[in-house]
């Protein structure tokens, strides 16, 4: 699979260049689109983005200007010489974008999660027989097979200029990130299919301006192939994703401070695997700390109800069921018991601390 992938563009990036796609989340008006584009082009940007069909989570949001935005993108292309790109989500979008001479299309996270929509887009591309670069965002849910399946449908339709966009994954609740990076997922994609370039989208992962630079640097450190970043001439007034968009000026500053690592190391796979371990250990720490917090809550409950900290039957059940589960996952029973006992001891210690707390 994916043996004969071609570069997204033959003449971009050049040897020492960083691959960057940037522009507003949405094309709102002709003026906003062109003003942003002119500023970006003046800073040397080569590929402009602007969404004109915007799949929104809930009705009532700005759903894009639709086909009316295509002539604006054509003007951007004519006037600035930049290549232009937009998001497509169905057959009509693909036809309209290709007919308008759009240089690259991407498929959004809500669409790549839907195999029927992906197949419809793939079939349309195949029928048109065009050699257009296509990027597939990761689906909203952290399912690598669904992501690879989406890429595969486009590849099977004859598209060879194909890449993936890492835009993070939805989780319930409020977090530092708008969409969790779950770096191990794009890394697994890289390990399974090293030919597919991976473009990082710090805007939709971070959801906040101040996270764009650190996320971008991390992605470059991890060997990603480029960035797609939202930029708007007046970000605070943007009709969609205002808090994560940057002015072209700030974006330019960030791009100039990023350190691009291009040394191809023979130890690349080892580095990737180690990074994966680092991430997983971070996740383990987070999960352990969450478990301890819940344990302390239980401690408070037991204190209020004057219950003893350790209930032997409950503990035996916990141990037995967890060891059985872990064994099913291919782990050793003694190893599991050691870990579970250590966790349990620490929970008990914390609960005793709470019970003895006098205030």
Interface residues toward ligand PEP, by CB under 6 A: 25, 51, 87, 108-109, 137, 167, 204
- Is the separation of the CB atoms in 65 and 28 below 8 Å? yes
> Which of ligand PEP, Mn ion, none sits in contact with 24, Cβ below 5 to 8 A by type?
none
Q: Where does residue 337 rank: exposed (0-12), middle (13-18), buried (19+ CB within 10 A)?
A: middle
Contacting residues for 246 by C-beta, under 8 A, at least 6 apart? 209, 212, 229, 230, 231, 232, 235, 254
At its nearest, how many Å lie between Mn ion and the CB of residue 90?
A: 18
Rounded CA separation 106/310 (Å): 55
- Look-up of token digits 């770096």: 183
Q: Is 150 in the site for Mn ion (CB under 5 A)?
A: no
Q: Which does 109 bind (CB under 5 to 8 A by kind): ligand PEP, Mn ion, none?
A: ligand PEP
Q: Which backbone phi and psi does 108 adopt, to 5 degrees?
A: -75, 170
**25 vs 215, beta carbon nearer ligand PEP:** 25
Nearest distance from C-beta of residue 125 to ligand PEP, angstroms = 18
User: What residue 23 binds from ligand PEP, Mn ion, none (CB within 5 to 8 A, per partner kind)?
Assistant: none
- 59 or 81, CB closer to Mn ion? 59
Q: How far is the CB of 109 from ligand PEP (least distance, A)?
A: 4
Q: By C-beta, is 28 or 87 nearer to ligand PEP?
A: 87
CB of 85 to ligand PEP, least distance (A): 10
Start-end of H helices in the chain: 30-42, 70-80, 91-99, 109-112, 115-128, 144-156, 184-192, 202-206, 212-221, 248-257, 268-304, 312-328, 333-356
Our finding on whether 220 is near Mn ion (CB under 5 A) is: no
Q: Considering beta carbons, is residue 26 or 347 the nearer one to ligand PEP? A: 26
The CA distance from 295 to 284, in Å, is 16
Looking at beta carbons, which residue is closest to ligand PEP?
108
**Smallest separation, CB 25 to Mn ion (Å):** 3
Site string for Mn ion, 3-42 (x = CB under 5 A): ----------------------x-----------------
Q: Return d(Cα 21, Cα 137) in angstroms, integer.
A: 14
159, 125 contact by CB (below 8 A):
yes
CA distances from 263 to 69, 169, 267 (A): 40, 29, 11
> Contact, 107 vs 121, CB < 8 A?
yes
d(CA 70, CA 82): 15
Select from Mn ion, ligand PEP, none the partner in contact with residue 133, using the beta carbon and a kind-dependent cut-off of 5 to 8 Å: none
If you search the block for the tokens 């205002």, which residue do you land on? 242
Check residue 241 for interaction with Mn ion (CB under 5 A): yes
Span of 88-96, 112-120, 210-218, 240-248 interacting with Mn ion by CB under 5 A: 240-248
Residue among 109 and 219 whose Cβ is closer to ligand PEP: 109
Residues interacting with Mn ion, by CB under 5 A? Answer: 25, 241
């Amino acid at each position: 699979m994916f043996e004969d992938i071609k570069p997204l563009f033959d003449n971009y990036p050049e040897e020492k260049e960083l691959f960057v796609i940037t522009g507003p989340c949405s094309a709102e008006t002709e003026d906003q689109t062109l003003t942003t584009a002119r500023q970006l082009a003046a800073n040397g940007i080569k590929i402009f983005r602007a969404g004109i069909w915007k799949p929104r989570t809930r009705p009532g949001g700005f759903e894009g200007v639709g086909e009316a935005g295509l002539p604006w993108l054509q003007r951007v292309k004519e006037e600035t010489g930049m290549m232009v790109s937009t998001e497509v989500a169905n057959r009509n979008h693909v036809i309209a974008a290709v007919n308008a001479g759009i240089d690259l299309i991407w498929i959004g996270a809500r669409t790549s999660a839907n195999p029927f929509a992906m197949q419809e887009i793939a079939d349309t591309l195949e029928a048109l027989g065009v050699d257009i670069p296509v990027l597939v965002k990761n689906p909203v849910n952290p399912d690598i097979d669904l992501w690879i399946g989406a890429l595969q449908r486009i590849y099977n339709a004859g598209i060879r200029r194909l890449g993936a966009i890492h835009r993070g994954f939805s989780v319930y609740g409020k977090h530092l990130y708008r969409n969790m990076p779950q770096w191990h997922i794009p890394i697994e994609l890289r390990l399974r299919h090293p030919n597919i370039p991976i473009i990082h989208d710090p805007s939709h992962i971070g959801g906040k301006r101040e996270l764009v630079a650190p996320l971008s640097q991390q992605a470059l450190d991890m060997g990603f192939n480029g960035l797609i970043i939202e930029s708007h001439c007046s970000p605070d007034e943007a009709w969609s994703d205002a808090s994560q968009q940057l002015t072209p000026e700030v974006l330019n500053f960030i791009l100039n401070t990023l350190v691009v690592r291009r040394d191809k190391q023979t130890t690349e796979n080892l580095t990737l695997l180690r990074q994966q371990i680092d991430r997983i250990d971070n996740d383990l720490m987070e999960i352990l700390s969450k478990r301890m917090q819940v344990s302390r809550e239980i401690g408070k409950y037991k204190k209020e109800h004057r219950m003893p900290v350790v209930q032997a039957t409950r503990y035996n059940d916990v141990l037995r069921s967890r060891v059985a589960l872990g064994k099913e996952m291919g782990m050793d029973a003694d190893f599991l018991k050691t870990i579970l006992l250590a966790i349990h001891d620490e929970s008990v210690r914390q609960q005793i601390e709470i019970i003895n707390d006098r205030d």
